Amino acid sequence: MHTRKSFASAFLSLILIPSVMIVILIDKPDYAFFNFVHRNIVPIAEAAGQTLTYPARLIGRFADNMRKRGDAMRDNAEIMAKLETLEKITAEKEMLERENAMLVAKLNMAAAIRYRTAAARVVRDNSFMETQAFVAVVSDDAVAVGNVVVSNTGYLLGVIVEKNGRYARIQSARDGHSNVPVRIAGTDVFGFLQGGGGAAPELKFLSNGDFVPKAGMSLITSGVNGNLPDNIPVGRIENVHDGEIKVKLGAEMKNQESVMLFLSDKGGRYE
């Protein structure tokens, strides 16, 4: 059986090859037959091939689209997860801001109840380079040198350093000669906030040399020696770099039109 197939193949080749050679010789010189095949048979064969392979190509496109859809769904899931995390962070931030506002209000209320207060209207900015001083008109004769000045939101602004009649000069906590005893809220770590004039104030001389301050930590007055009331919000640590602890004040004198004063006793102390 195998011998017969081999004989048939050999016989077909002997017939086919000479036939092709004869067609080529006859078709010269313009190859009309081959041009006819090229113009008519080849397009038909291509169309037939396209038709026969269309299902396979359709399946291939479908598979490619499914892969792209799967990639898009995975990317979308990752984006949704990131958005959900961002929403949680935003919600936590808003909650912390509300808690901080409530804390400031409570501290301000406690201080106002604990000490007699007076109002003052800021009328002039006498700041120059490192000196950050302001003039205010006070509403109470009991206002004296050493009285603490706070914003209407409860943040420390400075201290009265001079008084003449109804006029008082306020040294801002940003003043280059200002040195406010403070405490890092929630800890037993004390230090001093030194004004930087036009630059940001710095937290220095921490009572615990091993303590690692971090950005975002809140500062409040410590009330050391009774020269200042304690627990008045001051600001937050802005950044820590190469041993320098920069502080962002919670309120600035230059932005105030009216301020509140905490009146001390006759000895100029806050008990």
Instruction: Please tell me the predicted confidence (pLDDT) of residue 204.
Output: 93
The beta-strand segments (E) located in the chain are: 116-125, 133-138, 148-150, 156-164, 167-172, 179-184, 190-196, 199-204, 218-221, 233-241, 244-249, 258-263
How many folded domains does the chain comprise? 1
Instruction: With respect to residue 183, please indicate whether it lies within any of the assigned structural domains.
Output: yes
> Which two tokens mark 254?
């230059």
* pLDDT at position 17: 65
Q: What is the pLDDT of residue 9?
A: 64
In a domain, 41, yes or no: no
Residue range of the domain that includes 239: 115-263
In this prediction, the residues of the chain whose per-residue pLDDT falls under 50 are none
State whether residue 183 is helix, strand or coil: strand
In a domain, 164, yes or no: yes
Residue 227, domain member (yes or no): yes
pLDDT value at position 68?
Answer: 83
In a domain, 65, yes or no: no
Q: What is the bridge-based pairing of β-strands 148-150 and 258-263?
A: antiparallel
Q: Using CA atoms in the order 128, 131, 137, 138, what is the torsion angle rounded to 10 degrees?
A: 170
What is the per-residue pLDDT for 169?
95
In a domain, 269, yes or no: no
Looking at residue 69, its pLDDT comes to 81
- Cα–Cα dist 95/54, whole Å: 60
pTM above 0.75, yes or no: no
* Residue 151 belongs to a domain: yes
Long-range contacts of 17-24 (CB under 8 A, 24+ apart): none
Alpha carbons within 13 A on the beta-carbon side of 206: 16
Residue 239 forms part of a structural domain: yes
Task: Report which of 234, 221, 233, 203 is spatially closest to residue 270, judged by C-alpha positions.
Answer: 221
